[in-house]
Structure 1
Amino acid sequence: MEVNYDVPVDFERRLSNPASSSAKLTVVIGDTSFLEEKGLLVQSCEYFQALYRSGMKECYQEKIHLECLQARGFLIALAILRGEQPILDTSDDIVEAIECAAFLQVSPLTKHLINIIDSDNCLLMYHTAATYGLMELYHKAAQFIRDMYSDFELEVRRTLSPELVSYVESLTPCTFAAVGAHVACADNKTVHAASRTICYLDDNSDSWDILTDLPLEASSSLAGVTVLDNILYIVGGVHGADKEVVDASFCFDVTTNSWTKIASPNQLRYNFSLTGHDGRLYAIGGECDRVAMSSVESYNIEKNTWGFVAHLPRPGTGVACTKAIGRIFVCLWRPMETTEIFEYIPNKDTWQLLTTLIRKQSYGHCMVGHRDNLYIIRNGPSADFLRCLMECYNLTTGQWTSLPGHYANSKGSLFTAVVSGDSVLTLNRSMTLEYVVDGNTWKTRRQMKGFPRSGSVWTFLLRLPSKKTV
């Protein structure tokens, strides 16, 4: 291509703030033309960012031909850039989307592909990402396969090259881990030291082994606990009968086996929900001085700072919270007998009512996401917590379905459920249960040793170093 170095003097300003430019660009792929805002493309695609910094003559053209793409892949990318959640229900859709994400370096499209990895498409995602060099998707798809390797091993060895098989097998699978509700130590004295531990379930020996001890200042009682990018975060909590708020927050890095103290939220809180998404933590609702709150704070992990974001529509304590296909959801109760599901939309900083569930004498107490389904686990009628009932809300169709049967808390507390691949792991003191999710049924797959602690418990998944890999 011919190079023209006479870049307009205001070009860098327009590039740094592409939304200020309303110029249109025609992108031609094969016999299909797309008329789009140049700013949208420059803002989200590294290909166009590099092109418009190059000073080449294409910087000034109103039409660009892309010879190496399929029109369908570019159409999917445009839908993502507009904030849509397109369904990729064919192999061609997935292959062409990966091709476009790799060629144009469309980060939002790559994130969307990662969010929709499942047991039906993970092998195709992995192989295609390797072919086109989309390394982030390549790694995430390989991790997903590794977590379900007992189900996939025969197909992996039959369909993938030795190099791809070797990479999957070199990865560490997720491990089921838990911590009980323990208060901070008073005056730096060790209180119930034997129980102030984070444990993981060793599949080989069917035993709960100690991973690490909680820091002396940390409390997991009514604290916020979550894992993001394989780092465990414990924020806030209480100690003492008077529920004195703990002004200390920590993160644990399993690769270095070390704890680090991090900034605490601006508003001290307990009995709140903590979730991680896209480099940030969100502390949602909770209590302070026994008063329920609607405030929400976001923690920027890179900057170690907290800032307030959009409040919940109303105060909520211990609200059920989960993620599905890269989106954040919470359950809020509204008397009488109403459970409302809200979605937090980060780029708009708003909470949006998604759907409402009304069930007699029952509220949603736990929620887990699997594929594009939200599973709402609720108490039985008359607050019978020995009977868990379950409803499924499909994000794509907007339809509710009641799952058949019931699930007894005496066998496995579903209020602590976490999802790994197509499995849901639950536990209580008596046993750990693994369910296999198959549409509108949860089938018991295996029973393991119960968690040797009484009271409330937090559960999560971690990728442990090889010496502790199960």
Structure 2
Amino acid sequence: MTVCHHGHRGMYRWPGYDSWYPCNRMGEIESRVVVGGGDGNLHVLTHEHDKWDKFVRKNGYIRNVVCHQGVCLVCVKDEDKDQLVIEQFYLNEDKKWRFVTVLPNELQLYDVSVALHDNSLYVVGGVTKSDEIVNTASVCDLHSGHWYKMDDMQTKRCFCSSVIINNTVFVGGGRSDGLYCSNIVECADVRDRKWRTIPSTTTYRSTLTSVSNRLVATGGRTRQIYPPSNIVELYDERSTKWLPLPLMTRKRWGHAAFSTQNGELITAGGFLGDYSIESLKCD
């Protein structure tokens, strides 16, 4: 990554139904931006017309969105049954929701983070109904529907951000205790599933994503209780340091971020009701 420039997507706006914790609620299907709204529906940005299309899910609150190989996988809070379920949505087929699995009892948590790798779904962190923040992590084989427990993370966290790069799952940010925001980053190989820490991000409660198979952190807070930041940084494995990238045009925390197939970094939303979407192209 040597040349970076801001893209045109700042003209688009987040659907706006709920900017409260959109982290992990955004992805891409065949060059179309997909957002899981707090209204329980999927919103897809059609580039040819620069407009949002809405695909309705009758009941539930979308917690997380993962897009992979033309399929949108969502973690939904089913309000009728008071449980978290995983569903699929095929945008290019019949545009219908398909049930995948129910999260096991120990994962019936609020504010978990999810990541997808080779048909395995990773669920990390969260908070119980009694408001206890956990450090648990589990993985589901989507072929068999079986769940497997990973080692516990070293840090308890909810509202955290997760991404998988080169067979390694990275988890960062989130809320650790009360209003305390974390800048600790942990990672685990998907084969041994044991956690270790890497250097912490510059900001607290940043959003992690992968750009060209490299770990990038966006936004967050410069201090635990300070206003949001527009800092963007890249983790360099050789030096084990976070290196600065061009600043976002807007300051964000608790926002969504993901990378398109052509290496464009997209950031959107945030806690303070910012419904803008912007991009950074790295060549």
**Same fold per superposition (TM over 0.5):** yes
Matches within 5 A, 1:10-409: 173-182=30-39, 196-210=40-54, 212-214=55-57, 216-220=58-62, 223-237=63-77, 239=79, 245-256=82-93, 257-266=95-104, 267=106, 268-289=108-129, 290-332=131-173, 339-357=183-201, 359=202, 362-377=203-218, 378-381=220-223, 382-385=225-228, 387-403=229-245, 405=247, 407-409=249-251
Structure 1 residue 197 displacement after superposition:
2.7
How many Å separate the matches in 2 of 1:218 and 1:406?
32
Structure 1 residue 363 displacement after superposition:
0.3
Structure 1 residue 229 displacement after superposition:
3.3
Structure 1 residue 277 displacement after superposition:
0.5
One-letter amino acid matched to 1:371: S
Query: CA 1:329–1:368 in 2, change beyond 3 Å: closer, same or farther?
Result: same
One-letter amino acid matched to 1:295: T
8 Å contact from structure 1 (residues 331, 339) kept in 2: yes
The structure with more radius of gyration: 1
Structure 1 residue 431 displacement after superposition:
3.4
Query: CA 1:355–1:305 in 2, change beyond 3 Å: closer, same or farther?
Result: same
One-letter amino acid matched to 1:344: A
One-letter amino acid matched to 2:123: A
The TM-score with structure 2 as length reference comes to 0.74
What SS does the aligned partner of 1:271 have?
A: coil
> Which residue does 2:265 correspond to in 1?
424
Matches within 5 A, 1:415-454: 415-420=255-260, 421-428=262-269, 430-438=275-283
8 Å contact from structure 2 (residues 122, 140) kept in 1: yes
Structure 1 residue 401 displacement after superposition:
1.6
How many Å separate the matches in 1 of 2:161 and 2:140?
19
How many Å separate the matches in 2 of 1:434 and 1:417?
9
How many Å separate the matches in 2 of 1:253 and 1:337?
36
What SS does the aligned partner of 1:288 have?
A: coil
What SS does the aligned partner of 1:339 have?
A: coil
The TM-score with structure 1 as length reference comes to 0.46
Structure 1 residue 408 displacement after superposition:
1.6
How many Å separate the matches in 1 of 2:78 and 2:267?
25
Query: CA 1:278–1:247 in 2, change beyond 3 Å: closer, same or farther?
Result: closer
Unaligned runs of 5+ in 2: 2-28
Unaligned runs of 5+ in 1: 1-117, 119-171, 183-195, 439-470
Query: CA 1:180–1:337 in 2, change beyond 3 Å: closer, same or farther?
Result: closer
8 Å contact from structure 1 (residues 332, 340) kept in 2: yes
How many Å separate the matches in 2 of 1:203 and 1:340?
36
What SS does the aligned partner of 1:237 have?
A: strand
Structure 1 residue 347 displacement after superposition:
1.2
How many Å separate the matches in 2 of 1:404 and 1:258?
39
8 Å contact from structure 1 (residues 234, 249) kept in 2: yes
What SS does the aligned partner of 1:302 have?
A: coil
How many Å separate the matches in 2 of 1:430 and 1:239?
26
Q: Which has the higher contact order (CA 8 A, sep 6+)?
A: 2
8 Å contact from structure 1 (residues 331, 364) kept in 2: yes
Structure 1 residue 422 displacement after superposition:
2.1
8 Å contact from structure 2 (residues 181, 205) kept in 1: no
Q: Percent identity?
A: 12
What SS does the aligned partner of 1:321 have?
A: strand
8 Å contact from structure 1 (residues 372, 395) kept in 2: no
RMSD (CA atoms):
3.0
